[in-house]
Amino acid sequence: MSSSSSSMLHVLTHPLVRHKLAFLRQHDTPIAVFRASVRELSLLLAYETLEALPLRDATVLLPDGTQAAVERMDEAQICFVPILRAGCGLLDGMLDLVPSASVGHVGMQRHHVTLEAEEYYFKVPDHIHQKCCIVLDPMLATGNSADAAITRLKQAGAKNIIFACLIAAPEGVALLQKIHPDVRIITCSLDEKLDEKGYIVPGLGDAGDRFFGTD
């Protein structure tokens, strides 16, 4: 899949990604199309996000009765961690590709005045230090929620963390790269900037409200 990378930032540039993003950006996209587009983009995002994960050798029995050497991904070592609630929109597509992965949840809400992230829920699997944690959120705006979620995961013992989102603002990317230089960021689009209210420009509105029909 075509993409552009610089150190720990990876931006997808495939025509399918840009095509699907157009549906999300359009203000009057019906909720069913919006949800379908998010799911389709999450599949493309998962494909790229999982590209660097290691494989293990295995042997399978072929239809003709002979054996063949193959490679398998250890799905049990993958943990998807959506940031509630909008991050759940990316989860189904990820699980379509890796159905045996574990799932954790981090509940974060942004204070409307300070824009700081406030945690209200945290639950992750045991032995999180042994898993590759892929944090999911449609948007990386100020970076405060992503920073808080990643910090909380590290406190729980996570050592291998990737952050995956649909769109990102340069300000959020800069914050994560400063505080968490070990965390790779994978996104479908690096947008222009944040506005005075902390929303991404051009963005796509409130992803959670549009996905869940609460706008």
Report, as residue numbers or ranges, the catalytic residues.
110, 114, 206, 209
* Amino acid at site 183: V
Radius of gyration of the chain (CA): 18
**The 3-state secondary structure of 23-66, one letter per residue:** HHHCCCCCHHHHHHHHHHHHHHHHHHHHHHCCEEEEEEECCCCC
Nearest to 45 by CA among 189, 200, 206, 186: 186
Nearest to 138 by CA among 187, 70, 201: 187
Half-sphere exposure of residue 141: CA atoms within 13 angstroms, side-chain side: 22
